Structure 1
Amino acid sequence: MQTHDTGKPRPGKQPRPVRKLSKRLDVARQLHDLEQDAALDIVDIERLRVSVTRSLWVFLAVGSVFTTTGVQDFLAGHLTPADPVWWGCWGVEPCLVGILITILRWEAAMIARGIDIDSKAVDWLKRFLLGSTLVMNVVPALWPREGGISAGMLAAHIMVPVLVFFLAEVMPIVQARCTQARRAVTLTKPENSTPEPVDPVPAAPVETPASPVEASPPAVTTSMALPPVTPPAAPIEAPAVPAETPAPVPAAAVELDGLGIPVGMQQQIRQLVAGSTAPVTAVDIQRATRLPLPIAARVVDRLTPVTANGYAH
């Protein structure tokens, strides 16, 4: 591959270990800046909410399957699968659990917004749903159609409905508390380095005095004729000389070797210095490149002789 000589001095290529370490340092600085961002707390809270909610949904579904069998056994009685009612009994418990979860999700939304639910109708509806599931699961275990009472099945038919109820009760609370924690995180707004434009105040009109020529001559009260008075010549103003604007700092005058800064960031810093009319500060460099403040301060130390009078020493 042939290279064309452009006449510019080619910078020396850094050794491979230096380039690899510079890339690793660049990644480490970016990770450090991201970890300092308050928005990372929102991401962690949202991940926790999703993980806990999925686990609760799985256990709630497993518990609902068990309670559904107890409710179907209580309602179906001695019916056979040939009877449509036998199939319809399978949908009673999912309907009760769905109503319970819907109410508790609404309660969670209100709690997250600081609204207390003090309605007795809501409390009685939740108790009725729990009581219905509990009774329809306990009765078949206490009076089985075949065989005697099994202590294990009786304990399971009491424990699982109560567990399903409390899972449905805890799940909306988890949602509400995670929402409150996410809203409690305060995000800092980025500072605006460019000053806001100020509306120019219109200058008051200056009244210019009338020239001697346009002024009316005083009335002559005597009969003697006065000699004509010639008006003084207006002073000639010298043309305004435009002030010399300082020459922009050449981008090639900035030397940033030896600071461990990647080549891409060095080019960004050179462009920032070349396009800035005011002295570049460490905060400006940090906003443009996301470098740590100590490294940005060292860069400013390198730029100090350049930005002092516009020419490299």
Structure 2
Amino acid sequence: MKRDDKQARQPRQVRRLSKRLDVARQLHDLEQDAALDIVDIERLRVSVTRSLWIFLAVGSVFTTTGVQDFLAGHLTPADPVWWGCWGVEPCLVGVLITVLRWEAAMIAREIEIGSKAVDWLKRFLLTCTLVMNVVPALWPREGGISAGMLAAHIMVPVLVFFLAEVMPIVQARCTQARRAVTLTKPQTSEPASPAPAPAVEPPASSVEAPAVVVPPPPAVPVEPSPTPVMPPTVATLPPVAPVETPAPAPAVELDGLGIPVAMQAQIRQLVADSPDPVTAADIQRATRLPLTIAARVVDRLTPVGANGYAH
């Protein structure tokens, strides 16, 4: 027995290659799934949004220093107003981002804003940030005007504004792309209502039905003719063929394959409703099972579909 087992056992390279082929087939089946596009879109949205948030935070820190310098003036840290000036720019940026997030949600649902108040609010917030950053650079309290600081105080507020406006658009477009992906739902057949039993006619009796003799028409005196007179026609009723009731479909054994009970019932219903032999592709389309397991299920169904009864 041990020698037979060693001879029947496959070589290591064959077993290793078989495992690799199984993994490749499973990966191929997963790559064909449309839900993978949703995963890729969501990963892209998270990555892009995270990067934009980082750059927006860095730009907001720079504009916050300009706004604090404009509002604080010659105050010192001993004055509470000096500390309160640090919260003005985060408040303006927070209001701007909140409005743009709401606008992005409406764009994703294809709802037109159609309100000038929203546009005026965004422009007002940008103007406030821009003015409070440019004025200290144009009229510095100490020293002369620095062209680099002036350009930075103009460029960074505008960049922060456009970053805050691009972020909701990115989220809205990713949401639209995710909703545009259509997933193939498994074909679930509803339980068929019990059909009424066919009316079975009584089988024909072994005794033939009596012949019905059609009486001839009344005789009319005519001249003798050389043609012979036809005998009266006799009509017989055709025998009624007995109606055979279809044999019940055999049960499909799916135990031992690791398939849930609900999915087994779905496969049995698919086999019962399909007029043609069920293939592995049909089972995979209806239950989303791997192709290898679907092929094993078809092997279980082959004896049933071949001759109409289980071996």
Counterparts of 1:115 and 1:89 in 2: how far apart (Å)? 38
Q: Which residue among 173, 197, 200 is the counterpart of 2:192?
A: 197
- Aligned-pair distance for 1:196? 2.6
Letter in 2 for 1:135: V
2:303 touches 2:310 (CA, 8 Å); kept in 1? no
Q: Matched residue pairs, number?
A: 247
Matched ranges for 1:19-34 at <5 A: 19-34=15-30
Secondary structure of the residue aligned to 2:291 is: coil
| 1:115 correspondence with 2:114 | no
Relative to 1, partners in 2 of residues 1:248 and 1:190: Cα closer, same or farther, differing over 3 Å? closer
- Aligned-pair distance for 1:249? 9.0
Q: Which residue among 26, 48, 52 is the counterpart of 1:52?
A: 48
Instruction: Among all aligned residue pairs of Structure 1 and Structure 2, give the percentage whose two residues are the same amino acid.
Output: 74
| 1:307 correspondence with 2:306 | yes
Relative to 1, partners in 2 of residues 1:310 and 1:22: Cα closer, same or farther, differing over 3 Å? farther
Secondary structure of the residue aligned to 1:116 is: coil
Q: Which residue among 156, 159, 182 is the counterpart of 1:160?
A: 156
Counterparts of 1:68 and 1:148 in 2: how far apart (Å)? 22
- Aligned-pair distance for 1:25? 1.0
Match in the other structure for 1:290: 290
Counterparts of 2:90 and 2:249 in 1: how far apart (Å)? 79
Q: Which residue among 66, 74, 81 is the counterpart of 1:78?
A: 74
1:249 touches 1:310 (CA, 8 Å); kept in 2? no
- Aligned-pair distance for 1:14? 2.5
Counterparts of 2:295 and 2:51 in 1: how far apart (Å)? 46
Match in the other structure for 1:103: 99
Match in the other structure for 2:127: 131
1:49 touches 1:175 (CA, 8 Å); kept in 2? yes
1:248 touches 1:310 (CA, 8 Å); kept in 2? no
* Unmatched runs of 5 consecutive residues or more in structure 1: 4-8, 205-241, 252-263
1:71 touches 1:136 (CA, 8 Å); kept in 2? yes
Counterparts of 2:139 and 2:77 in 1: how far apart (Å)? 22
Letter in 2 for 1:282: A
Letter in 1 for 2:137: A
Counterparts of 1:147 and 1:291 in 2: how far apart (Å)? 76
Counterparts of 1:165 and 1:198 in 2: how far apart (Å)? 63
1:286 touches 1:292 (CA, 8 Å); kept in 2? no
Match in the other structure for 2:181: 185
Counterparts of 2:171 and 2:70 in 1: how far apart (Å)? 34
* Unmatched runs of 5 consecutive residues or more in structure 2: 200-244
Counterparts of 2:65 and 2:97 in 1: how far apart (Å)? 19
2:101 touches 2:168 (CA, 8 Å); kept in 1? yes
Output the TM-score relative to the length of structure 1. Answer: 0.68
Letter in 2 for 1:160: V
Relative to 1, partners in 2 of residues 1:137 and 1:35: Cα closer, same or farther, differing over 3 Å? same
Matched ranges for 1:198-213 at <5 A: 198-201=193-196
Secondary structure of the residue aligned to 1:141 is: helix
Counterparts of 1:43 and 1:250 in 2: how far apart (Å)? 36
Counterparts of 1:64 and 1:250 in 2: how far apart (Å)? 66
1:249 touches 1:307 (CA, 8 Å); kept in 2? no
